[in-house]
């Protein structure tokens, strides 16, 4: 496997771990409030992102190993990169909304009786989810610029034959 595949794959794995961490943090922060739909939402979102990423990764690796043009992978992989980048705006907006709500609660609550439950956990899970999607976006972009292993080998064998023939 070429080095760029490993780098892109590493970004994708770390990014998905951020998505999983954000999902778990969000579920834990809302667990005691009796909102099972939040759990379903978070699990479905995390699994959907993971399955889409796995499908793109498998397609990319399988397509690069074939005899077809390796540049044909660039388009779909860059679309996945763009989708991850755009999708990162959703948890980022929720993190900002949570921050703004917490700031408003503190401003109008002079006695400190209002508590924002699990504020740090909510903020951390939102940031982890956002950073995970941004890392996944970088990983897809790196993969879109990678060359196929079979093509690298054929290019190097052609280059060695050309240099051997010129002697």
| Residue 142 falls inside a structural domain | yes
| Residue 36 falls inside a structural domain | yes
| Residue 157 falls inside a structural domain | no
Contact 53, 153 (CB under 8 A): no
pLDDT band (50, 70, 90) for residue 76: confident
pLDDT band (50, 70, 90) for residue 70: low
Per-residue pLDDT at 75: 82
Is the pLDDT at 166 greater than 50? The verdict is no
Contact 151, 70 (CB under 8 A): yes
Per-residue pLDDT at 110: 59
- CA dist 9 and 48 (Å) reads 18
- Mean pLDDT, rounded, for 63-88: 82
> pLDDT tens, 2-18?
667 788 889 989 999 99
Selected residue with higher pLDDT from 108 and 121: 121
| Residue 113 falls inside a structural domain | yes
Domain that holds residue 21: 3-65+72-146
> pLDDT tens, 28-69?
888 877 778 888 988 999 999 989 988 888 887 777 777 777
Structure tokens at 75: 């388009």
| Residue 35 falls inside a structural domain | yes
| Residue 163 falls inside a structural domain | no
> pLDDT tens, 88-110?
999 999 999 988 888 877 777 65
pTM here is 0.77
| Residue 167 falls inside a structural domain | no
CA dihedral 26, 32, 37, 40 (to 10 degrees): 50
| Residue 153 falls inside a structural domain | no
Query: Residue 122: exposed, middle, or buried by beta-carbon count in 10 A (0-12, 13-18, 19+)?
Result: buried
Per-residue pLDDT at 2: 62
Domain count, the chain: 1
> pLDDT tens, 155-165?
444 344 444 44
């Amino acid at each position: 496997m070429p080095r760029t595949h490993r780098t892109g794959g590493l970004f994708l794995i770390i990014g998905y771990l951020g998505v999983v961490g954000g999902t778990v943090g969000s579920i834990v922060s809302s667990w005691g409030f009796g909102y099972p739909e939040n759990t379903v939402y978070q699990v479905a979102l995390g699994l959907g992102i993971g399955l889409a990423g796995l499908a793109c990764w498998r397609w990319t690796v399988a397509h690069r190993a074939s005899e077809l043009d390796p540049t044909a992978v660039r388009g779909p992989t860059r679309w996945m990169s763009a989708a991850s980048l755009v999708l990162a705006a959703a948890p980022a907006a929720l993190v900002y909304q949570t921050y703004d709500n917490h700031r408003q609660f503190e401003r109008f609550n002079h006695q400190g009786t209002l508590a924002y439950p699990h504020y740090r956990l909510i903020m951390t899970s939102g940031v982890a989810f956002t950073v995970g999607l941004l890392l996944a976006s970088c990983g897809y972009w790196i993969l879109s610029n990678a060359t196929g292993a079979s093509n690298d080998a054929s290019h190097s064998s052609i280059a060695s034959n050309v240099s051997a023939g010129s002697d």
